[in-house]
Chain A
Amino acid sequence: MDYFLDEEQMMIKDLARQIAEEKVMPIRAELDEREEFPWDIMNILAQSDFLGIYIPEAYGGMGRGGFEFSLAVEELSRACLGVSTTYAANALGTYPILLYGSEEQKKKYLPDIASGRKLVAFALTEANAGSDAAGVQTTARLEGNEYVLNGTKQWITNGGEASIYTVIAITDKSKGARGASAFVVEKDTPGFSFGKKENKLGIRASSTRELIFENCRIPKENIIGKPGMGFIVAMKTLDSSRTGVGAQGVGVAQGAFDAAAAYALERQQFGQPIFSIQAVQHLLADMATQIEAARALVYAVAKFIDSKAKDVSKESAMAKLFATDVAMKVTVDAVQVMGGAGYMREYPVEKMMRDAKILQIYEGTNQIQRNVIGQALIKETAKKK
């Protein structure tokens, strides 16, 4: 369907597709098999200006928004979700600085992020803090002109590979969720090290690691926003980034559909292409319909967020929830359409099915998304009374 993209948006979509097809598709199976971090591809994306799409021109970016970013994410996800996770997590790590960073912090970090000289990671999750973000136990204690960090972050995307980390830590235990703050921690800071690298079901090209802080001292000015704003920073960051995850869902679903549809036209059974058999045709028809609906929702919400709307939690949760549930269903059905071939590593859809599962889990499980939507609905309904 034509979404009436402007010339620059078409350019972003087309070039992202070209990179995905020429540079990502030929090596995605190998990256998956070897769990290899896609440095070559990240360097290509950097050189082609993709790391600064949503960063203002004043800091070396393209000055476009989350919608344009989502277009790039979608195209990369159509080829490989491991690559697009690495790419999207970079933005997730950048949003705290972009949304709440001081002018000095923006000047210091954003140009290197926009050019791709430095990768970024966002660190919220811990052993006892996932869906319940208030369970964060990593602490940051103010000592003179420094904060001293202690604790362990877990399952951090781009961990070990990124140079810049935006980290949520507790500065005042007595205040609960209002006692958390956000910080920038640079790699190679003494007291900051990396734990084990996880062995995953899918998105195996992406790096997922522990971050360990042992009396890690960072300058006081590395705090993002004010002390106690950590959860607001985290929640607004996630509000902004969720459409990116939605776009990942649309992309991987489209990739799986394309593979399944092409196969269904080639594969002959009962003297005809299986695409002509109604049982298969209806599966494909449902898949295509769901993908288009997910895309329309993700695009609309991304534009809504870019319009600087005040409260976008509900809509961004809807986009993430719907598009990623579609991704799971469509990738499972793509394997089904392709039958035995779909189950084999020779074809890309089994990987897409493994990869898609994470989309329903990370950046807020889809159950948490329903909570967010539900709470917003209660508020809205109560207001009408």
Chain B
Amino acid sequence: MNIIVCIKQVPDTAEIRINPETNTLMREGVPSIINPFDLHAIEAAIQVREQMGGKVTVLTMGPPQAETSLREAVSMGADEAVLLSDKAFAGSDTWATSYTLAQAIKKLGADIVFCGKQAIDGDTAQVGPETAEFLGIPHISYIRKIEDVKDNYIRVERLMDEGYDIVESSLPVLLTVVRELNQPRMPSLKGKMAAKKAEIKKMGMSDIGADEDSLGLRGSPTQVKNIFAPEVKAERKMIKGTTEEQVVTLIKELKGMKCI
């Protein structure tokens, strides 16, 4: 079984600050990590391989330094790693990113594609489902449990606001995963040694047969007009008096606001 995991190298949000003037992330000097949701995707892929056999390939689009994240994935147990890197990819929004990833996945071939549900820097949760659309395959998002996998069949639990759905699909399929799915493993010593020696396959625009106009900034329909923090406009009212008076006033107020 061929399994591909799409991962993203992101700035460690625990360390990040936001530029108060531009409202953009200040990435300078901030350590890069694998997007935390993607770690769960890697773990899921390794578990499926352990059960079904086959190969796990990690795939990322990013600058050359994203190679460190790919090596980290190999140290956890991924078999192969592919870096999509090309000047033509720069400035991609989720649409262009999904197109690029889909082109690469078509070249590599996959029975199951795993993605984290979203990246912690952009938080859009669009790239997984959009990639499936470009590939023309079904996707199931927010999966919290893999109940069954066979050669041409998968049954999973999809996390919903209230409860969960049980979803069945044929393969190939794209799955986006939530944290509840599993506990990502630590790297192993043998994995770390393999990661040091691992050959990172590099693919650019021509390798994936992409249409230049669909790539990077040019291929990105998203236009950011302005970034701002929403204003908090909560009204405040202090209730005074003894505890009993306060309780009476509070109930009256809440009733007036139709809260109770």
Interface residues of A (CB under 8 A from B): 7-8, 11-12, 15, 18-19, 22-23, 44, 47-50, 53, 62
A-B residue pairs in contact (CB < 8 Å), sample of 30: A7-B196, A8-B189, A8-B193, A11-B189, A11-B192, A12-B189, A15-B186, A15-B187, A15-B189, A15-B192, A18-B186, A19-B186, A22-B186, A23-B186, A44-B185, A44-B186, A47-B185, A47-B186, A48-B185, A48-B186, A48-B187, A48-B188, A48-B189, A49-B188, A49-B189, A49-B190, A49-B191, A53-B189, A62-B189, A62-B190
By a CB distance below 8 angstroms, the chain A residues around B187 are 15, 48
By a CB distance below 8 angstroms, the chain A residues around B188 are 47-49
By a CB distance below 8 angstroms, the chain A residues around B186 are 15, 18-19, 22-23, 44, 47-48
By a CB distance below 8 angstroms, the chain B residues around A8 are 189, 193
By a CB distance below 8 angstroms, the chain A residues around B193 are 8, 11
Q: How far is the CB of B147 from chain A (nearest CB, A)?
A: 23
Cα(A53)–Cα(B192), bound, Å: 14
| Dominant SS among interface residues on chain A | helix
Cα(A80)–Cα(B101), bound, Å: 44
Cα(A30)–Cα(B157), bound, Å: 32
By a CB distance below 8 angstroms, the chain A residues around B190 are 49, 62
Residue among A15, A18, A50 with max Cβ neighbours from chain B (10 Å): A15
By a CB distance below 8 angstroms, the chain B residues around A47 are 185-186, 188
Cα(A382)–Cα(B195), bound, Å: 54
Residue of A nearest to B77 (CB): A47
By a CB distance below 8 angstroms, the chain A residues around B191 are 49
Q: Are A50 and B189 in contact (CB under 8 A)?
A: yes
Cα(A8)–Cα(B191), bound, Å: 12
Cα(A112)–Cα(B185), bound, Å: 20
By a CB distance below 8 angstroms, the chain B residues around A53 are 189
Map CB proximity to A onto B191-221 as digits: 1 under 8 Å, 0 otherwise.
Answer: 1110010000000000000000000000000
14 new A-B contacts at CB < 8 Å, known A15-B187, A44-B185: A7-B196, A8-B189, A8-B193, A11-B192, A12-B189, A15-B192, A22-B186, A44-B186, A47-B186, A48-B188, A48-B189, A50-B189, A53-B189, A62-B189
Cα(A374)–Cα(B193), bound, Å: 43
By a CB distance below 8 angstroms, the chain A residues around B185 are 44, 47-48
Cα(A50)–Cα(B185), bound, Å: 14
By a CB distance below 8 angstroms, the chain B residues around A62 are 189-190
By a CB distance below 8 angstroms, the chain B residues around A15 are 186-187, 189, 192
Q: How far is the CB of B52 from chain A (nearest CB, A)?
A: 19
Cα(A258)–Cα(B79), bound, Å: 38
Closest 6 CB pairs of A and B: A49-B189, A48-B188, A49-B188, A48-B186, A49-B190, A11-B192
By a CB distance below 8 angstroms, the chain B residues around A12 are 189
Instruction: Give chain B interface residues in 164-190, CB to chain A under 8 Å.
Output: 185-190
Cα(A319)–Cα(B235), bound, Å: 68
Residue of B nearest to A52 (CB): B189
By a CB distance below 8 angstroms, the chain B residues around A22 are 186
Cα(A11)–Cα(B196), bound, Å: 11
By a CB distance below 8 angstroms, the chain B residues around A49 are 188-191
Residue among A18, A22, A23, A48 with max Cβ neighbours from chain B (10 Å): A48
Q: How far is the CB of A112 from chain B (nearest CB, A)?
A: 17
Residue of B nearest to A12 (CB): B189
Cα(A161)–Cα(B187), bound, Å: 25
Residue of B nearest to A68 (CB): B189
By a CB distance below 8 angstroms, the chain B residues around A18 are 186
Residue of B nearest to A19 (CB): B186
By a CB distance below 8 angstroms, the chain A residues around B196 are 7
By a CB distance below 8 angstroms, the chain A residues around B189 are 8, 11-12, 15, 48-50, 53, 62
Q: How far is the CB of B240 from chain A (nearest CB, A)?
A: 38
Q: How far is the CB of B230 from chain A (nearest CB, A)?
A: 34
By a CB distance below 8 angstroms, the chain B residues around A50 are 189
By a CB distance below 8 angstroms, the chain B residues around A7 are 196
Residue of B nearest to A53 (CB): B189
Q: How far is the CB of A253 from chain B (nearest CB, A)?
A: 25
Cα(A12)–Cα(B185), bound, Å: 16
Residue among A7, A12, A23, A49 with max Cβ neighbours from chain B (10 Å): A49
Cα(A224)–Cα(B187), bound, Å: 35
Cα(A49)–Cα(B196), bound, Å: 16
Q: How far is the CB of B53 from chain A (nearest CB, A)?
A: 19
Cα(A53)–Cα(B185), bound, Å: 19
Residue of B nearest to A44 (CB): B186
